[in-house]
Amino acid sequence: MAKPAPPANGADTGPGQPGPAVSGIRFALGIEYDGSAFQGWQRLAHGPSVQAEVESALSFVANHPLDVVCAGRTDSGVHARCQVVHLDTASGRTPFALQQGANSRLPGGIAVLWCQPVPQDFHARYSARARRYRYTILNRRTRAAMHRDYLTWERHPLDADAMHRAAQALVGEHDFSAFRTVHCQAPHPNRNVHEISVRRDDDRVVIEVQANAFLHHMVRNFVGSLVLVGRGEQPEAWPGELLAGRDRTVAGPTAPSNGLVFLGPRYPAQWSLPAEVTL
């Protein structure tokens, strides 16, 4: 089976860099993490990262150095419900041994949810056909005491229905220059947003977005502009106008990272991965 062509890279979806090829078995793993204590997914020289913790734990269990490749790199403070990675190892460890052994060595904010062998042509990044994010806003007069690392607070009442209607202009394949950070390293700004929804759940406003891939800060920039619509400070047509104008400087602010959760990538059924990451 030929390896699918890679999607255009963006900081939210860039891979961990693969290391030297290792003969043996390829495994896919689902990883949940609280990003509060980390400088993002990617291994860094200047701060703690999820990737470094995962590779250290798995390398100990395999008894040789391991590099993992992720489906979508997350920024500092961003959480993941089910990040997917792949690795190659000739250690002879079973999926259960890799999962349980890693969990015994990982910090409390990271857990391996599942581990299974996959064909050698599976690639955590390139085989994914979609990624999905959720952003949650606590919308009440009082700030959060509980769960504050997983919510952004907005004291002004938000019209979630207006936000949802406004967000539909962002669905489809577009040039998203108005919603990418100046630090984005993606070679081009085109992405395909499959769906975006905004709903109210009691005192929370929840935004969910699925796309083939994301630019750096793209979801958080969506949210920053949609909040202005929800407050009534901008009309419902505004996000569509921003999209057409392609000017980041006139769009809304970047929403804080702590409301953002990477729900995970989505793969074709041919890979027989768990339902939560299968299209």
**226 falls in which pLDDT band (50, 70, 90)?**
very high
pLDDT value, residue 183:
82
Each residue's pLDDT tens digit, 121-164: 999 999 999 999 999 999 999 999 999 999 999 999 999 999 99
Q: Give catalytic status of residue 75 as yes or no.
A: yes
Number of Cβ within 10 Å of residue 254's Cβ equals 19
| Interstrand relation of 69-70 and 79-89 (parallel, antiparallel or unpaired) | antiparallel
Number of Cβ within 10 Å of residue 103's Cβ equals 14
**44 falls in which pLDDT band (50, 70, 90)?**
confident
DSSP state of 267: B
SS3 247: coil
Confirm or reject CATH 3.40.50.12140 for domain 25-127, answering yes or no.
no
CATH C-level class of 130-262: alpha beta
Number of Cβ within 10 Å of residue 121's Cβ equals 13
Each residue's pLDDT tens digit, 58-109: 999 999 999 999 999 999 999 999 999 999 999 999 999 999 999 999 999 9
* Catalytic residue (one of 75, 175, 203, 247): 75
List the one residue out of 201, 204, 205, 174 whose CA is nearest residue 190.
Answer: 174
DSSP for 129-168, written as a single string? -EEEEEEEEE-SSS--SSSGGG-EE--S---HHHHHHHHG
What are the residue ranges of helices labelled H in the chain?
50-62, 95-105, 160-167, 218-230, 238-245
For the four alpha carbons of 207, 153, 112 and 11, in that order, the dihedral sign comes to positive
CA 231 to chain centre: 26
Same fold, 25-127 and 130-262: yes
Structural domain boundaries of the chain? 25-127, 130-262
The CA distance from 180 to 215, in Å, is 6
